[in-house]
A and B are shown apart, each in its own frame.
Chain A
Amino acid sequence: MSELHTVNKSPFEKSSFNSCMEHVLEGSAVLLYEDGVYAAIKGTAAEGKVKSAQGVKFYALGPDLSARGVAVERVTDGVEIVDYAGFVDLAAEHDKVVAWV
Chain B
Amino acid sequence: MKFAIQVNEGPYQHQAADSAYLFTRAALEKGHEIFRVFFYHDGVGNGTRLTTPPQDDRHIVNRWADLAEKHGLDLVLCVAAAQRRGLVDDGEAERNGKDATNIHPKFRISGLGQLIEAAVQSDRLVVFGD
Known contacts A84-B22, A84-B26, A101-B8; A92 and B14 CB within 8 A of each other: no
CB-based contact B27/A88 at 8 Å: yes
* Interface residue count on the A side (C-beta < 8 Å): 20
Chain A 63-96: CB-based contact to B (< 8 A → 1; otherwise 0): 1100000000000000000011101110110001
Question: Nearest Cβ distance between residue B102 and chain A, in whole angstroms?
Answer: 26
Partner among B15, B19, B26 whose Cβ is within 8 Å of the Cβ of A85: B26
Interface status of B126 (Cβ within 8 A of chain A): yes
* Interchain pairs with CB closer than 8 A, number: 56
Task: Give chain A nearest CB distance to B5 CB in angstroms.
Answer: 10
Main secondary structure of the interface of A (DSSP, over half): helix
Q: A interface vs B, CB < 8 Å?
A: 6, 8-9, 33-35, 63-64, 83-85, 87-89, 91-92, 96-97, 99, 101
Distance A34 CA – B123 CA, assembled complex (angstroms): 24
